[in-house]
Amino acid sequence: MSDSELEAIKRRKLREIQKRWAAKQKKPDQVNADEILNRVFKGRAWEVFNTAHHQFPDVMSGIKDALVRSVLSGRLKEVTGEQLYLFLRKLGLRVRLNTQIRYTENGRLKSLAEKIKEDLGKT
């Protein structure tokens, strides 16, 4: 084997080791980020975050990193779903949430559409 062949093998092995090390490092960071956010997210914050992440995946990955940094620095203590929604609106992200109006009648949960149908059927 010549010196150039040995150098090529060394470089290839080094790249493989670096790839394995990078893959190991990424997994714990992702889990830790979710755990960190789970400590401060209250109420419907995860619902808003996941919906926004589904609609704007590229932007939300950066926002996730910024939120984690804010939590770790101590600037962020608690985030509700409403606060997160307003924050995203101020950033220009119009997150479309699935909303339903429901109420309880005689111990049964009904949607507004059911109520209107019942009222129209009575008259």
Identify the pLDDT of residue 99: 84
Identify the pLDDT of residue 60: 95
pLDDT in tens, 62-73: 999 999 999 999
* Residue of 25, 53, 22 lying closest to 37 (CA atoms): 53
Domain that holds residue 8: 3-95
Number of domains forming the structure of the chain? 1
Residue 120 lies in a domain: no
Residue 29 lies in a domain: yes
Residue 118 lies in a domain: no
d(CA 92, CA 89) in angstroms, rounded, equals 5
Residue 38 lies in a domain: yes
Residue 115 lies in a domain: no
> SS3 for 14-55, per residue?
HHHHHHHHHHHHHHHHHHHHHHHHHHHECCCHHHHHHHHHHH
Low-confidence stretches of the chain (pLDDT < 70) are 25-31, 123
Identify the pLDDT of residue 118: 85
pTM exceeds cut of 0.95: no
Identify the pLDDT of residue 121: 82
Identify the pLDDT of residue 90: 96
